[in-house]
């Protein structure tokens, strides 16, 4: 087979693989991860329902003021005798690991996941917006049932950008790595054969 046609076949295989790769990756929430927390940035606001999908105690809204994500954030107020909390029940997949994160400023906040104390975050980062030093806390937590209660307790904080995203299964990642390796091995093999064929043609001409 002439080199030109071998490259056409290789390009066609690559195109097919890219389509499959995109479908698998999209299904694994790698390209466009889905946040299962509803109204996690508190942008859905109305006077009659200030914080849709959330319930809690001693909470209020700050509108258009140095939010970590969007324009609004939620406040968990320190009322002197204690703080408050905010909670939402999430639709989860049993045995699935979730990357759970939130941004907060002010006093420490405690995350409870499925009724259990989530402990210390795996990682912490900061981002200053105006006069608010937002601290991002990251956790990796498993779901044990089809519904999981996320709860954040605090006394005197701003809260924003609450997220829970499914982590891709290791088997999916392994499949992608193996598939890419096999594809490149095939392309290299075709390239070597094409080069060898081209050299033979040159020798025959000579």
CATH ID of 55-166, from 2.60.120.260, 3.90.480.20, 3.40.50.2000, 3.20.20.70:
2.60.120.260
Residue 139's SS3 state is strand
User: What local confidence, expressed as pLDDT, does residue 82 receive?
Assistant: 81
Terminal alpha carbon distance of the chain? 20
pLDDT reported for residue 138: 97
Please list the rounded mean pLDDT of every run of 10 residues in the chain (206 residues): 52 56 50 86 94 96 94 92 92 96 96 96 94 96 97 97 86 52 62 59 53
Q: What is the pLDDT of residue 137?
A: 97
Asked if residue 150 lies in contact with residue 164, where contact means CB atoms within 8 angstroms, the answer is: yes
- Break the chain into its structural domains and give their ranges: 3-27+170-205, 55-166
pLDDT at 157: 96
Indicate the Cα dihedral angle 152, 28, 42, 143, nearest 10°: -20
* Residue 37: Cβ-neighbour burial (10 angstroms; 0-12, 13-18, 19+): buried
pLDDT number for residue 102 = 98
């Amino acid at each position: 087979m002439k080199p030109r046609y071998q490259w056409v076949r290789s390009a066609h295989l690559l195109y097919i693989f890219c389509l499959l790769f995109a479908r698998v990756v999209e299904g694994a929430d790698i390209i466009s991860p889905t946040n299962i927390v509803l109204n996690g940035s508190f942008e859905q606001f109305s006077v009659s329902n200030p914080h849709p999908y959330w319930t809690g105690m001693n909470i209020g809204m700050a509108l258009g003021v140095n939010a970590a994500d969007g324009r609004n954030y939620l406040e968990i107020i320190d009322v002197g005798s204690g703080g408050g909390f905010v909670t939402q029940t999430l639709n989860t997949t049993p045995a699935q690991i979730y990357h759970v994160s939130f941004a907060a400023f002010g006093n420490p906040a405690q995350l409870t996941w499925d009724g259990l104390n989530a402990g210390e975050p795996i990682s912490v980062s900061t981002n200053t917006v105006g006069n608010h030093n937002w601290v991002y806390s990251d956790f990796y937590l498993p779901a044990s049932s089809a519904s999981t209660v996320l709860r954040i307790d605090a006394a005197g904080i701003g809260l924003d950008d609450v997220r829970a995203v499914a982590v891709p299964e290791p088997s999916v990642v392994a499949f992608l790595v193996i598939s890419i390796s096999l594809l490149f091995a095939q392309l290299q093999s075709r390239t070597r054969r094409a080069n060898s064929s081209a050299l033979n043609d040159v020798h025959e001409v000579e």
